[in-house]
Amino acid sequence: MKKLLVTKLLGPQALERSRGIRADELERFHSSLLDKAVKKEIVEIGKEATKLSNNSLWRMSIGRSFSEKNGEAERVRGLVTELDGLTKKVLFATLLHRPLEKLGISLFKKEIMCVSDSFDEVLERVLVEHEQKLDDHQDRDMMDVLLAAYGDENAEHKISRNHIKAFFVELFFAGTDTSAQSIQWTMAEIINNPNILKRLREEIDSVVGKTRLIQETDLPKLPYLQAVVKEGLRLHPPLPLFVRTFQEGCKIGGFYVPEKTTLIGNAYVMMRDPSVWEDPEEFKPERFLSSSRSTQEEERREQALKYIPFGSGRRGCPGSSLGYIFVGTAVGMMVQCFDWSIKGDKVQMDEAGGLNLSMAHSLKCTPVPRNRPLLADQ
Ligand code: HEM
């Protein structure tokens, strides 16, 4: 299934085919911010960013049944948020309540069943809708591809309806909140660093101009924006811990790790390690500009050993390119089109406790439109 995911949804060709969907959703995001700006309303950046990544993912994977009106994407968005909260509770309960667990008492069984049933209901409906229309159309989405594999008698690996549903739950869970958190943290850093905001804006204005919205094909021509996104992910990786179980015993850094040991890697600590990062606690996007690196070898080592916001190896994140696109275009658009006013002098950057890295105080700010010609055009 991971192979299908990479080839049909997240690989370079698949991403090229779905570019129009993301451009639409970015425009929708822009319009929603503009609407709030006109009404002088405060925006919760995390919530808006979650809508952007969830709607985009929904349309990219289950696309042809998408309609604003039937509210299914909205429903899935709510369920992903509920599941996220529940996962945190369950993990903590597992750590803190081992004795209860031993007695077979599942603390959150009712809530888990409730979210699971709701997911099942939405996805079953989408599945049936796709089955009914399977032969009708040429434009196949991810759900069609999985349904074809489900119906294939000769498939090398048989998949069930439940596999398909579990796949979509994992996809939305892994892709929505991670991207939204990164957008939120990076915007907070930019608002707190006016010099960085100024430089970023100059780059975007000179490459994109002021009469059209930034798009993802601009990203390769915007090295400073890319560096800002990378630095945001370095300081605030939304999934800081990753787990590996050793199939064989081996030696790491002079220690012998026996077979079947479970180790937890801490990307947060690694990406703030003062022995490999200069001024590790500071938000300094310049460190990712190629002129500040001495060799290509240094860049390669950085990727492999010290920069791991997407994990690493076979279980590494298959959505890293899409993640960079979501964060780059959303942050780019917010910087290109709006000034941002906040309550007080600085955004509070405290981290909420927990296993994924979210802001203790969600970023709330008011957008003020800046590019008049662009607004007139939209
Ligand atoms: C900025 C955005 C994102 C960040 C920082 C991020 C980070 C991560 C990390 C750290 C992991 C665990 C990797 C490991 O254990 O080595 C992971 C797994 C995963 N991510 Fe992402 N991710 C992002 C966006 C996405 C998107 C957009 C998708 C897809 C739509 C996605 C799909 C997945 C999946 C399916 C896994 C599980 C892979 C497996 O278990 O083999 N991610 N992600």
User: Which sequence spans correspond to the domains of the chain?
Assistant: 1-238+272-369, 239-267
Mean pLDDT of 183-206: 97
Q: Tell me the C-alpha distance between 287 and 353, whole Å.
A: 28
Per the DSSP assignment, residues forming a β-bridge with 251 are 256
| pLDDT tens sequence across 81-117 | 777 766 666 655 555 555 555 544 466 667 777 777 7
ipTM: 0.98
311/297 Cα distance (integer angstroms): 20
Q: What is the average pLDDT value for the chain, to the nearest integer?
A: 85
Determine whether the annotation assigns residue 317 to a binding site.
yes
Nearest residue by C-alpha to atom 26 in ligand 1? 175
CATH assignment of 1-238+272-369? 1.10.630.10
Highest mean pLDDT among 115-124, 128-137, 355-364: 355-364
Q: Which amino acid is at 48?
A: E
- Tokens 């003020």 belong to residue: 368
Ligand 1 atom with minimal separation from the 312 CA: 16
Whole-number Å distance, alpha carbon 320 to ligand 1 midpoint, is 7
Q: Helices 161-192 and 72-96: crossing angle, nearest 10°?
A: 90
Task: Give me ligand 1 centre to Cα 313, in Å.
Answer: 12
Dig out the tokens for 144 from the structure.
């069609």
Q: 14-52: per-residue pLDDT in tens?
A: 899 899 999 999 999 999 999 999 999 999 999 999 999
State how far the Cα of 21 lies from the Cα of 59, in Å rounded to an integer.
7
Is residue 57 in contact with ligand 1, taking CB distance under 6 Å?
A: yes
From the list 263, 204, 205, the residue with the least C-alpha distance to 229 is 204
Average pLDDT over residues 358-375: 83
The dihedral through the CA atoms of 331, 336, 339, 345 has a sign that is: positive
* pLDDT value for 160: 87
Please determine, for residue 212, whether its predicted confidence score (pLDDT) is greater than 70: yes
pLDDT, tens digit, 9 for 90 and up, residues 48-65: 999 999 889 988 888 755
Ligand 1 centroid from CA 317, angstroms: 4
Give mean pLDDT, residues 320-324.
96
Query: Given this model, what pLDDT does residue 342 score?
Result: 94
* pLDDT of 320 over the 90 cut: yes
- Residue 80 Cα, ligand 1 centroid: separation in angstroms? 15
Burial class from Cβ neighbours inside 10 Å (0-12, 13-18, 19+) for residue 14 reads middle
* pTM (2 d.p.): 0.89
Question: What integer is the mean pLDDT of 244-248?
Answer: 90
At 351, the pLDDT band (50, 70, 90 cuts) reads very high
Cβ contact 143:127 at 8 Å:
yes
Is ligand 1 within 6 A of the CB of residue 323? yes
Q: Hey, CA dihedral for 287, 290, 292, 295, is it positive or negative?
A: positive
Pairwise CA distance, residues 120 & 168, whole Å: 10
Q: What's the gap between Cα 194 and its chain centre?
A: 25
- Ligand 1 atom closest to Cα of 311? 16
Longest dimension (CA), the chain: 66
In this prediction, residue 73 has a pLDDT band, given cuts at 50, 70 and 90, of low
174 ligand 1 Cβ < 6 A:
yes
Assess whether the C-beta atom of 3 lies below 6 angstroms from ligand 1.
Answer: no
